[in-house]
Amino acid sequence: METFVKPDIDWAALSPVLVLLGGAALTMLVPLFLPVGVRRGFSAFVAAAALIGAGVAAAILFAHDDSGRGIVADALRRDRLAELAQVILAGSGLLAIGVSYREPGRREGIGDYYTLLLSAVGGMCFFVSANSLMTLFLGLEWFSISLYIMCAIAVDRLGSLEAGLKYLIVGSFGSAILLFGSALVYGATGEIGFEAIERAAAGDDRFLLVTGLAMLLVGLAFKVSAAPFHMWTPDVYQGAPTPVTAFMSAATKVAGLVLTLRLLTTAFGSQEELWTLSLAVIACISLAWGNLAALVQTDVKRLLAYSSVSHAGFLLIPIAVGTPLGGRALLYYLMPYAAMNVGSFAIVAARERELARPVTVSDLSGMGWERPFHGIAMAIFMFGFIGLPPAGLFLGKFYAFSAAVERGWTWLAIVGVVATVVSIYYYLGVVRAMYVSPGELRLAPAGGSPPRDPALTTAVAASLAVTVGTFFAAGPLIDLARDGVEFLRFPF
Amino acid sequence: MDVAAWICLASPAVAVVLIALAGDRMPRFAAGVLAALAALVSFIASVICLIVLLGEEPEGRAGHGSTLWTWLSAGDFRIGLDVVVDPLSVFMMLVVSGVGFLILSYAVGYMRGDVEERRYHAYKALFLFSMLLLVQSGNLLLLLAGWGMVGLSSYLLINFWHQRETAVAAGKKAFIMNAVGDATFALALFILTQHVGALDFATVFDRAPEALGDGTTLSALVALGLLGGAVAKSAQIPLHTWLPDAMEGPTPVSALIHAATMVTAGVYLIARTHTLFELAPDIQHLAAILGGVTIVVAGLIALVQTDIKRVIAYSTMSQIGYMFVGVGLGAYGAGLFHLMTHAFFKALLFMAAGIVIHALAGEQDIRKMGGLGRALPWTYRFFLVGALALAAIPPFAGFFSKDAILASAANEGTLGWSLWGAGAFGAFLTGLYTFRLLFIVFRGEPSGFVREHLHREQFEGPFAMAWPVAVLAVLSVIGGLLQIPGVWHAVDDWIHPVAGSIEEAPGSTALLSALAALGLSLVGIWLAWSFYGRPGYGPARARRRWPWAATALERKLYFDDAYDVVFYTPSTRLATGLERFVERPLFLRSLTGLGGAVRLLAGRVAAAQTGLVRSYALALATGLAVITIVFLAVT
Amino acid sequence: MPDVGNILVWVVWIIAATALFSSGIAVILFQNPFYSALALILNLASLAVLYLLLAAEFVAAAQVLVYAGAVVVMFLFVIAYLGGRADAPLAGGPTFQVVGAIVAAGAIGVEVVVAIALKAGDRLNDTDEIGARFGSPAEIGRLFLSNHLLAFEVTSIILLVAAVGGVILGSAVPSDHRAEGSAEQ
Amino acid sequence: MMGPGIAAYLIVSVILFATGALGVLIRRSPLIILLALEIMLNAGNLALIAFSRRFADGDGQIFALTVMVVAASEAVVGLGLIVAMSRKHVELDVDKLRTLRG
Amino acid sequence: MITTALIVLPFAGALLLWILPWRTSTAAGGLALLVALGELALWVGTVVNFDFGVSELQYDAERAWFSDLGVSYKVGLYDFSLWLVGLTALVAVASIGYGMWAGRARPGAYFGLLLFLTGATVGVFTAQDLLLFYVFFEAMLIPLYVLIGVWGGAGRTGATIKFIVYTMGGSLLMLVAIIAFGLDRGSFDMTELGTSDSTWIFLGFVIAFAVKAPLWPFHGWLPDAYREAPAEVSALLSGVVSKTAAYGLLRIVLPSFPEQVADWRTVVLVLASIGLVYGSLLAFRAPDVRGVIAYSSLAQMCLIVIGLFAFNDSGLNGALLQMVNHGLISASLFLLAGTVERRTATGDLHLLGGMARGRPVLATLFIVVGVVALAVPGSTAFAGEFLVLNGIFPVGWGWAVVGAAAMVLAAMYVLRLVSAVLHRDVGTMVPDAALDLRPGETSLVGMLVIALLALSFWPAGITDHVFGGQPEQAVTTRFSE
């Protein structure tokens, strides 16, 4: 009889997730015992503290780890890739809190929104360090289920419910595919740990393995809204409460892409020619589809959703090339990208609260002059999405294209270029609306200035700072990214 | 001497700057005086140069020069801000600044009271500066600079009264025709820089025979380019049409200023670069031929013109034709001599015409004039002097200089003889049209128009206008004595160090040719007298008999029409066509069209997002199916 | 000489598989969700039989208890609460949806089958020997508390999150009552 | 091992998976879609357990058990959503959920 | 340090303008003007201490940016870039001054953007790292977009989109080229670029610059953008921003792609010659003031490219001189067009005319600039064109003939412009009350004109102080000695 071996539990490595879970527990339970007036503030404060704690913990871990190792019986991996991603995720969550704080119409002061937010971040932090198919699946479901609920949390609005249900149906469909793929990979190798899969996959008999790989790719591509698996994205982004969209658009991408990178390099290094090319093709489709569809959008959130699809294309380029430079490019790209996404949705949220209705592009007219700070921030985000300095995303694109060129896939970089040119139309459409269109003011009936919202403004300012800061401080950040991917085994 | 040369060049420029900067603060009159003074300073400086040069040995007179600073550079290729002080340039400086001074003085009186008098004087000073730059420049590039700026000044002067549509058009035409000349000139310079490596006179003339070769295509191209510039500037056929139009310009003075000085620049250029022309004898002869053709054509057209200034303008063309014949045949001294005398009597004629126009309150149509001799006796006399000089009647200046040219031509074989023939026929025409003008304007009974409009002034105009005319009249009478063919050759000798004439006509030939030409001139004058000097129907009969000839001459032998058909209309059509069929559809609308197509596609793509969640799942499933098939197939 | 046990297993397997297919098709083809849910119970039960055949006793038991016993019952409650509204399968929606669905689902199925078939030439059926403890509750428990401790904990977190979500969504007050409430904020 | 080989189980699981997918794709009632999703997950489970048997490795069974819990969680959330929607008097037909499109 | 200061000063000024609240155009414009004058003063100080004897980098500064791809913040001045920086500073002063004088809505934003544009342009001229160069190159787009889009004329929307899409399409290709080049060389340091024999990289650069300049047939954005932008923005755009393209050709393409330059020279020359004639012809037909200036800019940029691709002492010097000349000329022309449009509310040549009468200052400046623009011999523009054509002549006489013909066409369109605005009968849209240039306008345009006249007296002031006196050698050795 085998003896019971208690696995070695690396509490330090789990600390970010644990801090978030603790925060989630606090926000779930404590407000019930607090007076109604302070619940909201308390929850937000605790959530922020938990996110900061998680971020700091991850940062400390990052500083201490110089190579990766499996923890808790190799279920997770403690390495800088995960820790860097965790910092970015915590940051996105933190920004999202600023956006959420004044969101009207939420359940009165009960902390469950923040519970879900923390849980989602926790799930993602878990997910990015997943080191086996099982933890991958569980982490995915963890944060997905949190997100399903968050999307639908504005239960008054049919749009929110619709978004939630759509996300749930398509998401579960994707999860089921991912699960079946995992099963096939397990069947092909007999292993669920990533490294073990790589070791066991050496054989020449690969049919089940590649079928499983295909299904895993589809499941992950779905999560990062790469075309043609992106179709949930516009509906869900548009229907979900804007702060949720802000968070989801940034964090899901970070988590999904980092894990994709980890899975493919760690477990499927032997199948490199399959996934590199197919991801490149998916990237191209995303670039084309996202940009084209965005051209004709009128709703700003939907426009940004399609932009997110196109950026999935950009972000898949560095993964597809499968080189260390690509890894660096991905991690660096994600930093300004996450901030810009949260920031731009935050501004949409602010406008939405001001107008008390969904924001269309023409609703932005005159905003640049009336709300100068939001205007400038939004303009910088839009210019940044195009890839103009001084947004860090410019360097992100530079790195992504560099990775493609270095790999010898100049054509991929050129596809990216063409897509960027197309994207100019709609990003500048937003800027044009804010500054150029005659400012027939259409404020909320109350008129005048909108309610002060320092939390949201802080979030926007922070996003802006990250967006611009990543440009100027690119050197150190890229060093971080390099450390993050140092021990991945890139096929090229 | 160098200082004097620089002062000569700079003083009109200073005047321009002062007048421009002072603006309203300077009285109008003062502007004119300032300009005239500047010209005077230039003239004095020229005289100083002359005196200094005279003090030197003839062979040592060439080659003086001075450089202020490098004007333009490219690697080893350097162009200095050079002036050259040698007999040729001093000769031209004297003519330009001397006649220029007289003209500017005259203008002070003529322009008195015009609203924009200051601007006018500034333009004139600018003109003088440009002209001096042209003749003083020590290298071909600065010569071209002066060349172009002269064109610019003439443009400014021609459309001085810019409300007039015709003046504006004439100004543009003059400038653009000259620009054509500038362009060919510049092309010649490109060849020179490529093969000679420098543009200063000394180096170019020194190295050219070796670098370009004698009689080679290269030399021919260089000479052709320079000739193009010269032809355009000197209004020779076929680039002549701007000059008569320029007479549409508002003031006779401005007309004068280029008639008397600027148009002779071509002659100067050929004389200056004779080394290059001599390397390409065919082209030099071409210059002479063009000159000969111009003599005849311009003389013919002048016969039917009705604008007093136009007649004189055509005569200018014709006279410059003589000069071209001269320099084209290598008789540089003769050509330049005629240049000088022509400056005197042509200026005289224009000034006298100016007094007439002034007196008639701006009227220029000779058909409305008549019998002015009594009203303006001194003017009549001055005009007569000018006309006699122009018609080359001894002992007036024109006789000696024109005769020198004809004599040289007579010595040049077949080509020379044909040119001589043209020149002699030109002499006949000159006599005819000159005296036609004289008789119509000054003789006969005063017309109604004259009686109505003539306002007699004290001494036929202000003193400022009168005295330069008088000076010029004197010069027209005695200027010809400077050089008498077969007797002495002051001009030839003077410029010999720079441009030694290759021809020396024997005295007998010279005499014969002079007599023949004189005879023809007298015939012309007689004919003019018989047609216009007394009542008669000669002209009308001739017109009835050869209506086509009259029309052809009145249409100026269709040169303008030809240019319209050959150049202007096609280029305008081309531009319009490009705009309509290339620029708009291809470049301006291209992106719009592409954008439309993309947007259409985008609409289709977005329409795929039906809102049906099952379709989203279907997309997922389809994508999965495709990827799996591909993966399996590849594996 | 075929082993009787083997034949028996085959028979059971065929029955279970048939039940599995038919109940699966029933789930997706019944008009009334109520019947579909009932068919799902059969489906899950057939699965449990297969699990047993694969020596996964604990999973089979959990399948019956958790799924058939809890999840489907929850479905039934909801269906009862909402009043089962029938909708015709294959009706509504664009034509390409149905055709595409059948083609895509079929294609995926065929592809994986092909993959399996290709693999089957290899050692797919070479099953390893298993001990008596394989699949037993004790073994599962040991795994859960050792190597898969984390997975165990995470499933509980997921369940908790889902519960919170269920509370939030399920306890939502109808909007007409909330309109004023939100306006006051 | 008695009875059919692992491949047979796998084929069953694949067919089950396709059935579930078909259900999601052709049905309009969200309830039935949820049921079909359960079938898909269970197909995955069957595959996992079959492979678990083949390798005599307990990981697959553990995986299957966690999937069960996950499936239950999804069902809870899905049903919660459906209830919330029905409270807003929305017809239970995913094809009617088309306010978000384009 | 000084180079960095040259770059940072306008940006800092821009930030200040954006942050502080401004009530009047004069106050905001005044500060901007002060900053621009400071920039100019800084430049003068640089010139005074510059060592013109050598064609190597001076006043350089370097800081690591991100090391893994060898990208750094590296700036410095060559003798030829120095002149372009000076051009930028001067035109910026004139443009900002003009904007201040004209008065613009939302002055803080407006002048801040103008300064931002200035800073970015200076950055392009001083960057010594390919990526940094690209950053500044792209950074110019943002202020231009907003300036045209917000303060532009009625057709600004289409104009801006066209402008941005064209230029970004080009420059993104250049980004790919930069990446390929830099990765290939292992460094993005422009002083150590070396050469490449890749045609694709070469084309990436060339097309980007061809769009920016613009050259035929990439000029589709030009007429609209120049027409719709505020006058002073057009001045900066055509005067300075377009020079960045020529600078890029000179700084990057010519030295680093010797083989391709030789192989593609004929193609480039053919396109440039077509553009030269085409632009001149269209300028001759353009119905409005700005149209004439816009198409003449096209022609002039083509001429500059001809000079660059002559690739000899004369051509290179001429191209550089002509860059400065054209910068000053088109800036003054656009500012003058602005003054005319302010008075008449139209740029349509049919509605203008007779403005010279009673407006001597306007007439004088207009004619002087026009005359220099048509390269009357003796002017600095003539010096530039002469060198360019003189340089191209040995390459092939045909190019020079086309160039010479274009000089005639230039005379045609400039004179047409001058007479249509100033001469003939008073146009229907010209009110009698329209004043002559005010002292403010006079001093701004006058400043540029004085620069032009000074250059006309001494074009060698530039040609003697570039490339260390050895243009071809300097370019061939990639400015390394």
- C-alpha B284/C-alpha B416 separation (Å) is 13
Q: How far is C-alpha A171 from the chain's CA centre?
A: 15
- pLDDT tens per residue, range B428-447: 888 888 888 888 888 777 77
Q: Residue C63 is encoded by which pair of tokens?
A: 């399948």
Question: Measuring CA to CA, which residue among B200, B181, B383 is closest to residue B262?
Answer: B181
Q: By the 8 A CB rule, do E306 and E388 touch? A: yes
Sort out which chain C residues have CB atoms less than 8 A from A76's CB and list them.
Answer: 150
- C-alpha B454/C-alpha B376 separation (Å) is 10
CA distances from E297 to E87, E208, E301 (A): 16, 17, 6
- C-alpha A465/C-alpha A463 separation (Å) is 5
Q: Is E390 on the interface with B (CB under 8 A)?
A: yes
When computed from its CA atoms, the radius of gyration of chain B, rounded to whole angstroms, is 30
pLDDT at A223: 92
Sort out which chain B residues have CB atoms less than 8 A from A292's CB and list them.
Answer: 598, 601-602, 605-606
What residues are paired with B137 via a beta bridge?
A: B83
Q: Is A204 on the interface with C (CB under 8 A)?
A: no
Please, which chains are in contact with B (at least 3 CB pairs closer than 8 A)? A, C, D, E
Q: By the 8 A CB rule, do B224 and E401 touch? A: no
| CB pair distance less than 8 Å for E407 and B179 | yes
* pLDDT beneath 70, residues of chain A: 1-4, 105-111, 202-205, 437-451
Nearest neighbour of A141 by CB, restricted to D51, D70, D84: D70
- C-alpha A288/C-alpha A420 separation (Å) is 10
> Residue type at A171?
G
Three state DSSP letters for chain E: CHHHHHHHHHHHHHHHHHHCCCCCHHHHHHHHHHHHHHHHHHHHHHHHCCCCCCCCCEEEEEEEEECCCCEEEEEEECHHHHHHHHHHHHHHHHHHHHHHHHCCCCHHHHHHHHHHHHHHHHHHHHECEHHHHHHHHHHCHHHHHHHHHHHCCCCHHHHHHHHHHHHHHHHHHHHHHHHHHHHHHCCCEHHHCCCCCCHHHHHHHHHHHHHHCCCCCCCCCHHHHHHHCCHHHHHHHHHHHHHHHHHHHHHHHHHHCHHHHHHHHHHHHHHHHHHHHHHHHHHHHCCEHHHHHHHHHHHHHHHHHHHHHHCCHHHHHHHHHHHHHHHHHHHHHHHHHHHHHHHHCCCEHHHCCCCCCCCHHHHHHHHHHHHHHCCCCCCHHHHHHHHHHHHHCCCCHHHHHHHHHHHHHHHHHHHHHHHHHHCCCCCCCCCCCCCCCCHHHHHHHHHHHHHHHHHHHCCHHHHCCCHHHCHHHHHHCCCCC
- pLDDT tens per residue, range C1-59: 557 888 888 899 999 999 999 999 999 888 888 888 999 999 999 999 999 988 888 89
> Residue type at A70?
G
pLDDT at C122 over 80: no
Q: Residue A489 is encoded by which pair of tokens?
A: 């085994």
Q: At what angle do helices E156-185 and E130-139 cross, to 10 degrees?
A: 180
Nearest neighbour of D49 by CB, restricted to C6, C13, C51: C51
Please, which chains are in contact with E (at least 3 CB pairs closer than 8 A)? A, B
Count CA atoms closer than 13 A to B93's CA, side-chain side.
31
Quote the Cα angle for A378-A384-A385, to 5°. Answer: 95
Q: Is A291 on the interface with E (CB under 8 A)?
A: no
| CB pair distance less than 8 Å for B628 and C100 | no
- Put simply, the chain E residues between 422 and 441 with a CB less than 8 A from any chain B CB are 422-425
> Residue type at B311?
V
| CB pair distance less than 8 Å for C124 and D6 | yes
User: CB count, 10 Å around CB of C136?
Assistant: 16
Nearest neighbour of A383 by CB, restricted to E18, E142, E179: E142
CA distances from B527 to B532, B533, B534 (A): 8, 9, 11
**Interface residues of chain D, partner chain A, Cβ below 8 Å:** 10, 13, 17, 20-21, 24, 30, 33-34, 37, 40-41, 43-44, 47-48, 50-51, 54-55, 57, 59-60, 62-63, 66-67, 70, 73-74, 77-78, 80-82, 84-85, 88, 90, 94, 97, 99-102
Burial of B32 (0-12, 13-18, 19+ CB in 10 A): buried
The larger pLDDT score, comparing residue B583 to residue A136, is at A136
Q: By the 8 A CB rule, do B219 and B276 touch? A: yes
> Residue type at E248?
G
Q: By the 8 A CB rule, do B404 and B333 touch? A: yes
Residue percentage of chain B with pLDDT more than 90 = 1
List the single residue in E with minimal CA-CA distance to B152: E376
Burial of B47 (0-12, 13-18, 19+ CB in 10 A): middle
Highest mean pLDDT among A124-133, B192-201, B329-338: A124-133
Q: How far is A113 from chain C (nearest CA, A)?
A: 9
- DSSP class of residue A130? B
Write down the ipTM of this complex: 0.89
What residues are paired with A71 via a beta bridge?
A: A76
| CB pair distance less than 8 Å for A107 and C168 | yes
pLDDT at C179 over 60: no
Helix or strand (DSSP H, E) at C30: none
Sort residue C28 into left (φ over 0), alpha (ψ -120 to 50) or beta: alpha
Q: Is B613 on the interface with D (CB under 8 A)?
A: yes
In three-state secondary structure terms, A323 is: coil
pLDDT at A441: 47
- pLDDT tens per residue, range B247-304: 766 565 666 666 667 888 888 888 888 888 888 888 888 888 898 898 888 888 888 8
Q: Residue B544 is encoded by which pair of tokens?
A: 């009835």
Question: Measuring CA to CA, which residue among E404, D42, B66, B385 is closest to residue C62?
Answer: D42
Using pLDDT thresholds of 50, 70 and 90, give the confidence band for residue C180: very low
- Kindly report the average pLDDT of chain B as a whole number: 82
pLDDT at D1: 67
Q: By the 8 A CB rule, do B174 and B245 touch? A: yes
pLDDT at E318: 92
- DSSP class of residue B76? T
pLDDT at C177: 46
* pLDDT beneath 70, residues of chain E: 481
Which residue matches tokens 């792209």? E138
Q: How far is A421 from chain E (nearest CA, A)?
A: 6
Q: How far is D99 from chain B (nearest CA, A)?
A: 7
Nearest neighbour of E138 by CB, restricted to A388, A413, A435: A388
Strands B77-85 and B64-74, how do they pair? antiparallel
Please, which chains are in contact with D (at least 3 CB pairs closer than 8 A)? A, B, C
- C-alpha B11/C-alpha B20 separation (Å) is 14
Question: Measuring CA to CA, which residue among B413, C169, B406 is closest to residue A156?
Answer: C169
Count CA atoms closer than 13 A to A333's CA, side-chain side.
29
| CB pair distance less than 8 Å for C108 and B625 | yes
* Mean pLDDT score, D73-87: 89
Nearest neighbour of E278 by CB, restricted to B145, B191, B578: B578
- pLDDT tens per residue, range A46-72: 999 999 999 999 999 999 887 788 888
Which residue matches tokens 């699809």? A309
List the single residue in C with minimal CA-CA distance to D5: C125
Which of E161, E176, E185, E218 is most worth mutating to test chain A (most A CB atoms within 10 A of its CB)? Answer: E176
- Put simply, the chain C residues between 146 and 185 with a CB less than 8 A from any chain A CB are 146-151, 154-155, 157-158, 161-162, 164-165, 167-169, 172, 175, 178-179, 181-182, 185
CA distances from B216 to B209, B229, E267, E371 (A): 10, 20, 32, 37
Which of B195, B587, B589, B599 is most worth mutating to test chain E (most E CB atoms within 10 A of its CB)? Answer: B587
pTM of the model: 0.91
A334: Cβ–Cβ under 8 A, 6 or more apart, which residues?
Answer: A85, A88, A253, A254, A257, A258, A315, A396
User: CB count, 10 Å around CB of B512?
Assistant: 14
When computed from its CA atoms, the radius of gyration of chain D, rounded to whole angstroms, is 17
Sort out which chain B residues have CB atoms less than 8 A from C110's CB and list them.
Answer: none
pLDDT at D63 over 70: yes
pLDDT at B501 over 80: no
Nearest neighbour of C178 by CB, restricted to A73, A156, A205: A156
| CB pair distance less than 8 Å for B619 and A210 | no
- C-alpha B147/C-alpha E411 separation (Å) is 15
- C-alpha A361/C-alpha A350 separation (Å) is 14
Q: How far is C183 from chain D (nearest CA, A)?
A: 19
In three-state secondary structure terms, B489 is: strand
In three-state secondary structure terms, B65 is: strand
| CB pair distance less than 8 Å for D90 and A234 | no
- C-alpha C111/C-alpha A215 separation (Å) is 12
In three-state secondary structure terms, B236 is: coil
Q: Is D28 on the interface with B (CB under 8 A)?
A: yes
| CB pair distance less than 8 Å for B614 and D98 | no
pLDDT at A416: 93
Q: Is C88 on the interface with A (CB under 8 A)?
A: no
Which of D27, D37, D93, D100 is most worth mutating to test chain A (most A CB atoms within 10 A of its CB)? Answer: D100
> Residue type at E126?
T
Which of D1, D9, D48 is most worth mutating to test chain C (most C CB atoms within 10 A of its CB)? Answer: D1
